[in-house]
């Protein structure tokens, strides 16, 4: 681990504070309406989830404090002035947690700027970040490489449904979102009417194509990976325990499950880490995640969502190369949880990610030689 201080810029997007209050207040009926029979009853709450991917002050400050144990940290908000601030500051390295806002390549924008300015940064490059935020394209690449992932069709307008072959149950998801944005209890559709209603909701609310994906109902896991090349380490596997959800809801890790039913005042007991699985299943999950990490050319860290199909085979649902990192254990954030289970506390995890990146760029050696 690098012990010499680097000049680190922490580049972030901060969530609007009112969202935090919304999360902790009583949800509106609409936001967790369990009925999907009619389009009008489908949850439409764009104001609640528009900034769901962004970090709170608490998270950003926790990352700052972790890095500041060793390094000199400057904060830079990932807004339209970020380019000039980075150009002037010229940090040794950027710790990138910026999710961006505009467009489907939003997560790639800060890394692309950093490449232009030749400033090293943590995490995956613009290509990987852009691809992973395009769930359909990611699944095409995985399929080409023989990695199992649920079958899907991509629908941009309702008329395209005419020629589509859809099997029920399916799940309807926005093409370019994360943090379960647009994934509600009503996203599981079991007949044509529910499918049309949910498609309308996603197309109109998120203004982007929707994936209609085969719904696989086996156990679900999320897997945190750390490192590069032959040194990629799979942290203890987290299982998502659906029996902790309210009764009669669909077994998915939905927006309601992530942000409404689970909060720091009354956390859901939704994770088990390390997951209770056989050594054979553990190896199978680790292998498919390592292969996925390599195929998608992830760097430094990534969290990969996995679910078992009817044959018990691990399928990749999606990748999170900018994983959620809420600092408090009671906030139930998977990557920090997996790290804790491996004996790395929050600060050590952040320092390790920075170290992985610095090592890739040969920064640790340069500093030691000085
Ligand atoms: N094909 C599928 N079959 C079964 N469940 C699924 C499928 N796709 C998604 N899910 C469920 O929906 C949840 C959210 O889906 P997904 O991971 O694609 O969304 P996300 O918004 O990118 O999540 P994240 O918060 O990890 O960024 C999954 O954790 C899983 O429970
Ligand atoms: Mg996910």
pLDDT single digits (tens) 339-366:
999 999 999 999 999 999 999 999 975 4
Question: DSSP string covering 82-139, please?
Answer: HHHHHHHH--SEEEE----SSSTTHHHHHHHHHHHHT--BSS--HHHHHHHT-HHHHH
15 lines ligand 1 (CB under 6 A): no
Q: CB–CB of 249/185 below 8 Å?
A: yes
pLDDT at 54 over 70: yes
Whose Cα sits closest to atom 16 in ligand 1?
Answer: 180
Q: What angle do CA 20, 26, 28 make, to 5 degrees?
A: 105
Tell me the pLDDT of the chain averaged across its residues.
89
- Whole-prediction pTM: 0.90
215 lines ligand 1 (CB under 6 A): yes
Query: Cβ of 306: how many Cβ atoms within 10 Å?
Result: 25
Report, as an integer, the average pLDDT of 53-76: 96
Whole-number pLDDT of residue 45: 37
Whose Cα sits closest to atom 7 in ligand 1?
Answer: 215
Three-state DSSP class for 35?
coil
Give the rounded percent of residues in the chain with a pLDDT score beyond 70.
Answer: 88
| Length reported for the chain | 370
For residue 10, which of 304, 330, 351 has the smallest C-alpha distance?
A: 351
For residue 150, which of 323, 313, 321 has the smallest C-alpha distance?
A: 313
pLDDT single digits (tens) 237-256:
999 999 999 899 999 999 99
Whole-number pLDDT of residue 17: 66
Whose Cα sits closest to atom 1 in ligand 1?
Answer: 215
pLDDT confidence of 259, banded at 50, 70, 90? confident
213 lines ligand 1 (CB under 6 A): yes
* CA 303 to ligand 1: nearest atom: 26
Q: CB–CB of 178/317 below 8 Å?
A: no
Whole-number pLDDT of residue 369: 39
Report, as an integer, the average pLDDT of 166-173: 97
Ligand that lies nearest to the alpha carbon of residue 320, given by its number in the listed order = 1
Report, as an integer, the average pLDDT of 312-333: 94
Ligand that lies nearest to the alpha carbon of residue 249, given by its number in the listed order = 1
Quickly list H helices, the chain.
Answer: 17-24, 46-49, 57-68, 82-89, 106-117, 126-132, 135-144, 192-206, 255, 279-295, 334-341, 346-360, 363-369
For residue 353, which of 222, 224, 223, 226 has the smallest C-alpha distance?
A: 226
Dihedral sign of CA atoms 322, 268, 273, 213 in order: negative
Task: Please list all protein residues whose beta carbon sits less than 5 angstroms from ligand 2, which is an ion.
Answer: 305
Pocket test for ligand 1, best of 318, 321, 323 (most atoms within 8 A of CB): 318
Ligand that lies nearest to the alpha carbon of residue 132, given by its number in the listed order = 1
99 lines ligand 1 (CB under 6 A): no
DSSP state letter for 160: G
Cis peptide before 336 (omega within 30 of 0): no
Give the Å distances, CA to CA, from 57 to 15, 28, 65, 67, 351. Answer: 7, 25, 12, 15, 19
Pocket test for ligand 1, best of 137, 186, 223, 317 (most atoms within 8 A of CB): 317
């Amino acid at each position: 681990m690098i012990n010499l201080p680097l000049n680190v810029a922490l580049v972030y997007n901060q969530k609007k504070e009112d969202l935090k209050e919304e999360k902790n207040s009583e949800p509106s009926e609409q936001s967790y309406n369990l009925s999907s029979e009619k389009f009008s009853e489908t949850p439409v709450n764009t104001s609640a989830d528009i900034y769901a991917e962004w970090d709170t002050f608490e998270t950003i400050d926790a990352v700052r404090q972790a890095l500041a144990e060793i390094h000199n940290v400057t904060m830079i908000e990932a807004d339209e002035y970020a380019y000039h601030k980075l150009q002037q500051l010229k940090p040794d390295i950027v710790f990138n947690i910026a999710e961006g806002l505009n467009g489907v390549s939003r997560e790639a924008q800060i890394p692309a700027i950093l490449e232009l300015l030749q400033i090293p940064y943590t995490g995956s490059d613009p290509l990987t970040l852009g691809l992973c935020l395009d769930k359909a394209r990611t699944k095409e690449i995985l399929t080409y490489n023989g990695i199992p992932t649920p079958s899907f069709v991509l629908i941009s307008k309702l008329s395209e449904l005419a020629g589509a072959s859809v099997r029920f149950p399916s799940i309807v998801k926005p093409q370019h979102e994360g943090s379960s944005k647009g994934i509600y209890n009503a996203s599981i559709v079991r007949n044509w009417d529910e499918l049309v209603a949910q498609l309308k909701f996603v197309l109109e609310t998120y203004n982007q194509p929707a994936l209609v994906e085969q719904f696989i109902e086996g156990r679900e896991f999320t897997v945190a990976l750390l490192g590069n090349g032959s040194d990629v380490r799979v942290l203890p596997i987290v299982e998502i325990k659906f029996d902790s959800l309210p009764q009669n809801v669909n077994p998915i890790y939905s927006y309601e499950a992530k942000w409404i039913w689970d909060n720091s005042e009354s956390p859901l007991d939704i994770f088990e880490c390390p997951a209770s699985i056989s050594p054979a299943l553990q190896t199978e999950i680790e292998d498919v995640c390592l292969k996925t990490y390599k195929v998608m050319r992830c760097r430094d860290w990534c969290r990969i969502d996995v679910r078992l199909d009817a044959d018990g085979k691990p399928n990749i649902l999606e990748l999170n190369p900018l994983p959620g990192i809420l600092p408090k254990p009671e906030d139930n954030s998977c990557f920090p949880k997996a790290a804790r289970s491996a004996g790395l506390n929050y600060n050590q995890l952040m320092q390790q990610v920075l170290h992985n990146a610095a090592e890739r760029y040969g920064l640790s050696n340069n500093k030691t030689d000085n």
